[in-house]
Structure 1
Amino acid sequence: MLKDFLKKKKRYATIPSERAKQEVPEGLMTKCPSCRTIMYTKELKKNLYVCDSCGHHHRMTAYERFDSLFDEGTFVEFDKNMIGENPLDFPTYEEKLEADRKKTDLNEAIVTGKGTINGYGAVMAVMDSRFRMGSMGSVVGEKITRAVEQSIEMGVPFILFSASGGARMQEGVLSLMQMAKTSAALEKLSRQGGLFISVMTHPTTGGVSASFASLGDYNFAEPKALIGFAGRRIIEQTIRQELPDDFQTAEFLLKHGQLDRVVSRLEMKELLTTILEIHSI
């Protein structure tokens, strides 16, 4: 009798792992990489992909960023169909670009457009790290430059959210040229009395951090974002010193005067509204 009871208990207590997987739809839950809290993806999205437990900022797509900041129905995209080519005939580059287009539904690593933030007009550019790690190629530089020119023409501020691994190696010197090109456009904006707000998100590195991302009238960053030019290992080998644990984080840069403020995504729209209101007077 006792044997039969234990067998039955074991049988009913065991759930096949495959069956368990089928019962939980893919993408329903998300685990925070920082605090390991498991949460509903839908709730995380409502909270702008900021973990409720520890404040970790999860990745956000370019269009989600526009939705979180621009007033509903005001976003108009620029140069959506601009597509890069393979100017240096780099092997398999075209195939990689096409694969990223299918994976992300983006034509390039940046989306630009105009809209209003609580009624204040702005031109905005948002980099998306899902496309070639947000690397800066010719199209990225061209779209930023055109967006800055639109900002000058419309007489509204320019806002840029960067997320990039740096220059795109498959385009060689043509990629590096975008550093000067975008910087020249921003200098023109400055001479015209325009406003540039730069927000660095995780990660902002290489040629992007060394050019347009660091040229804002206001330089902000999201919490714990990785920001820097060369990697930690290369710097340590060069200067032959051990770097602090928080080196190249947004908080480290703020402490050393390279940022104006570290801003939570949940406070970003309110802060941008305040700045736009001040500069509209």
Structure 2
Amino acid sequence: MNKGKLYCMTGIFCLILIFGGVLPSRKVRASENFNSNPTVTIPEEKSYSVTGAYTWIKYKAPGNGYITVRASSILPKNTVSYTDNTVTIQDPATGQQSTLPRVYSQGKWRLYSAKKNTALSSDDIFRTASSQSMDTTQTYGVKKNTTYYLRVSSNGNLTIKCKFTKVSENSGSQKSKAKSVKKNKTVKGIIGAGEKTADWYKIKLPKKQVLHLYFSGKTNDKIKLTFSGTYLKTAKKYIVRGNTKTQHTYTTERAQPGTYYVKVERNNSKSSGYYTLKWK
């Protein structure tokens, strides 16, 4: 056999190995699934810090709404009591107890599309040692029948819980189709992960009055609200960030009769989440 044919056959054989998966280009763990198990456990021996492989957790949204994921550390087997700093375990054979330093987990998580090739959120850090929900919890807006993957890199023993909250929304897809919001009526909506469109609402004032606009939300990044209308020369812009539990208020004492618009949209390509809106 001449050298040209030998080199050709060798090259083809290497391509088959690579694309056929015989030669691994990156370590990847088998996917977990939030739909079949809303609490996923990642033991230390399977964590990214040990294996160098991400954990991919699949989720298919049953409806329009948002998911809340929460990270927490796993207590050792045979734990009888614990504090923020220590854990007491008991030997089942002897009954002897010993107190050890409590070990926490940390890492990063990021939401991806169904093909795992498009990031839908930032690569955010979680720390289970923190008492702040912003360090252990994340929120993502999701759309019905859409599949997502949460990519996790962690160290230590870890559990991640996923909770879905359904949201019924009635918004307009553009300004000309804005949906009316009645006085003292709270409307709810979501900005789905990877969604580029905005939600539109309108407020009709029959007479001059003091106008209070209330808004709140939960988001993995930021949601932007733009308020415009009859007397406003410049539109007013507001940001909902993080897990905003308390309502923010915009008040104007010189709202003239007419129609006002509220546009709700993602602040950037990695933003998604849930929001509420009300006026009186």
Output the TM-score relative to the length of structure 1. Answer: 0.24
Structure number with the bigger relative contact order (C-alpha 8 A, sep ≥ 6) is 2
Larger Rg over CA atoms = 2
TM-score, structure 2 length as denominator? Answer: 0.24
